[in-house]
Amino acid sequence: LPGFLTPHAADMDSVPQQPNRWSRFFGRLLGMSVAHECPLGVLLAPPLCKQLLGQEPSFEDLQYVPGLSEDGAGWYCSLRALLVHRSPELVKDDPTLACLDSEAINEALQGLEAAMPSRAEQVFQALAAHVGFSACAPQRWQEAAEIAGRLIHEATSQAQRDLAAARTRELLEAVAMAHGRGRLWSWEPP
């Protein structure tokens, strides 16, 4: 790694002395940015550099990085939704994620790099999760209903249609229960 990321090697790893290492390093950063569809600047954010320096970054750090939390549908929210689905014991009830060490992250997201969903899919999943969470919050029902309608309209695959329909049903049942109408239907899909 370049000198600024490995302090013990800072004296001997300047740009003029190690141009190949620097070009490989920035090539990897650019490759990661393209592969994961995230802005290049995000990879140079202080929380991520903490990990390169051998320090454990926390998700609280990531929450405030520009571009990671765009109106509830950014990378932080998408990653939180994935963790809630795959390893709910790692996620606390509060809106921020607990500080996780790199082993816990690797376990929770095992294989994610090889099958990273597109940015649009992550946003779709994050919005669907928002609709599901809003079923418990009457003050969010109207907004959630609008989002649910857009999700159903924008769904491009059967999996997306099923997800949008399931979250919409959760929301409608919560509204019906609150108004004393009980369950809207009792049939469960196989």
pLDDT tens across 13-60, in order? 455 566 676 677 667 766 766 666 666 565 556 555 565 555 665 555
Please determine, for residue 186, whether its predicted confidence score (pLDDT) is greater than 70: no
- Asked which of 23-27, 37-41, 139-143, 167-171 is least confident by mean pLDDT, the reply is 37-41
Amino acid at residue number 59: F
Please determine, for residue 66, whether its predicted confidence score (pLDDT) is greater than 60: no
Q: What is the reported pLDDT for 48?
A: 58
For the chain, the average pLDDT equals: 63
Could you give phi then psi for residue 84, rounded to 5 degrees? -60, -40
Side-chain-facing half-sphere of 31: CA atoms under 13 Å: 7
Q: What is the reported pLDDT for 143?
A: 79
Between residues 32 and 161, which one has the greater pLDDT? 161
Please determine, for residue 152, whether its predicted confidence score (pLDDT) is greater than 50: yes
Closest CA to 76 of 89, 62, 57: 62
Helices then strands, each counted (H, E), the chain: 9, 0
Please determine, for residue 1, whether its predicted confidence score (pLDDT) is greater than 50: no
Please determine, for residue 80, whether its predicted confidence score (pLDDT) is greater than 80: no
Please determine, for residue 118, whether its predicted confidence score (pLDDT) is greater than 60: no
Return the top range by mean pLDDT from 100-104, 124-128, 185-189.
124-128
- pTM for the model: 0.36
Q: Which residues of 88-108 are buried (b: 16+ CB within 10 A; e: fewer)?
A: eebbeeeeebeebeeeebeeb
Between residues 59 and 83, which one has the greater pLDDT? 83
